[in-house]
């Protein structure tokens, strides 16, 4: 078997450490490809940078190898918040809009009717029934 003039086998450099780095970074790349929160068609890049620094008499060369990856970014998540001041407490409140339109009720996945912020309607109605004022009773009293 003929011997190579320059023997630099990537899988054997530094006792296989470079290959281990490449394998580890490839695992990250494929995990990113299968991440449903990234764009499927986005390009991912694995870069191997090999730096060679000879000594003054050019007899020995220090070799440094770096492996870097550029992954697809995780896509952002958006939502709409309803905010206002509570008439009861005077505190500022904020809730996520669940119905799609402020003030609109909706039916959730379990078939329950909910307010625009996701609170069950029956709970709200019970709270309101406790606050109903009987004006005729006040008149009599």
Same domain, 62 and 102: no
Residue 140's pLDDT is 54
The yes-or-no verdict on residue 101 having pLDDT over 90 is no
**Which pair of tokens denotes residue 67?**
């492996």
pTM of the model: 0.59
Boundary residue ending a domain (22, 39, 70): 70
Boundary residue ending a domain (44, 70, 96): 70
Tell me the average pLDDT across 76-92: 89
Same domain, 99 and 52: no
Reported as a pLDDT band with limits 50, 70 and 90, residue 120 is confident
DSSP per-residue string spanning 24-59? HHHHHHHHHHT-TTB-TT---EEEEEEEEEE-TTSS
The verdict on residue 20 lying in a domain is yes
Query: What range defines the domain where residue 101 resides?
Result: 81-132
Residue 19's pLDDT is 97
The yes-or-no verdict on residue 51 having pLDDT over 80 is yes
The verdict on residue 119 lying in a domain is yes
Tell me the average pLDDT across 20-36: 97
**Which pair of tokens denotes residue 5?**
């003039």
């Amino acid at each position: 078997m003929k011997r190579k003039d320059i023997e630099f086998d990537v899988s054997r450099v530094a006792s296989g450490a470079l290959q281990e780095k490449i394998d580890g970074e490839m695992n990250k790349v494929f995990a990113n490809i299968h991440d449903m929160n990234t764009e499927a068609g986005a390009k991912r890049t694995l870069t191997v940078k090999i730096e060679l620094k000879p000594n003054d008499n050019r007899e020995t060369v220090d070799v440094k190898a770096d492996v870097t990856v550029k992954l697809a970014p995780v896509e952002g998540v958006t939502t709409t918040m309803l905010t206002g001041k509570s008439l009861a407490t005077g505190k500022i409140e904020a809730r996520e809009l669940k119905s799609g339109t402020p003030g609109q009720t909706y039916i959730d996945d379990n078939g329950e009717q909910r307010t625009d912020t996701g609170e069950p309607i029956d709970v709200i109605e019970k709270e309101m029934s406790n606050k109903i004022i009987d004006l005729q009773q006040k008149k009599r009293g």
